[in-house]
Amino acid sequence: MRSKITVIGAGNVGATTAQRLAERDYADIVLVDIVEGLAEGKALDLDESGPVVGYEAHVTGTTDYSATADSQIVVITSGLARKPGMSRDDLLQKNREIVWSVTKAAAEQSPEAIIIVVSNPLDAMCHVAFEASGFPKERVLGMAGVLDSARFRTFLAWELGVSVRDVTGFVLGGHGDTMVPVVSYSNVAGVPVRQLIPEDRLGAIVDRARNGGAEVVKLLKTGSAYYAPSAAVVEMVDAIVHDQKRILPCAALLGGQYGIDDLFVGVPVKLGSGGVEQILELDLEADELEALRTSAGSVRELVDVMSGMPALA
């Protein structure tokens, strides 16, 4: 019997995630959306792609969470997308309500699932999903670091004219303007990037990585990125489904690592069938560690703001 993976939200990120997962052909997909007909139509379109692309995965579109029962993984993409000039913080109140509602509904149907949060502001929404689901911290995590690291690696590869496959780089911290591209652990086939790229150019690349999402939003004018975000989600799902023990930067609930406690922040984790199986604590340079803690402080501010909002049932 095939595994089942649920994707909540049939917008660009959710639908593209469902497409990439269907093409993986290792699980059936349930695509859920509050808008009647939206998920159903996209699911039908994806099913009719199977004979051409060559996958047997069945995609179900629905507004009914009973169809999601016993999912191995639940990916939450629901929420308002950023518009030009809108910060992630502006999304806080409305997306908090949305993420709480969909998490409660999904967790009731799939109490053993692993939840991957994609909705923004990402790190704060992880707290919402964690509280709403009541799941252990190992089974609630956020997609941010894989995406931000992919952008960083892309820009490094372009600068050097090398294959992106040979570029290693981590971006840690909150998913926002304070994220921390970790230059000290970035290399090309083992060669530190500091030996290959002048400091001023590295600084420009770091800044572009930090603003990678906003750059796409500005160019699109309506909507936000979805090809790279969906690819990042699927890399995480692959690691869980196949128990790959991948070391990937994900938003995880820290318990004192890096001097940060009780906060979802992007850090390297070992990702396998149990979800977050280990949090790796890198020996960061002093300025990088300070920047990571500053980034965590920005997340803490959002969490504190949410704590003052009316309770959700």
Active site residues: 175
| DSSP character string of the chain | --EEEEEE--SHHHHHHHHHHHHHTSEEEEEE-SSTTHHHHHHHHHHTTHHHHT----EEEES-GGGGTT-SEEEE--SPPP-TT--GGGGHHHHHHHHHHHHHHHHHH-TT-EEEE-SSSHHHHHHHHHHHH---GGGEEE--HHHHHHHHHHHHHHHHT--GGGEEEEEEB-SSTT-EEEEEEEEETTEEGGGTS-HHHHHHHHHHHHTHHHHHHHHHSSS---HHHHHHHHHHHHHHHTT--EEEEEEEEEESGGG-EEEEEEEEEEEETTEEEEE------HHHHHHHHHHHHHHHHHHHHHHTSPP--
d(CA 35, CA 17): 18
β-strand partners of 170: 182
What b/e readout covers 131-144, taking b as 16+ CB neighbours within 10 angstroms? ebbebebbbbbbbb
Count CB-CB contacts under 10 A for residue 232. Answer: 26
Do 27 and 4 touch, CB atoms closer than 8 A?
yes
* β-strand pairing of 140-142 with 59-62: unpaired
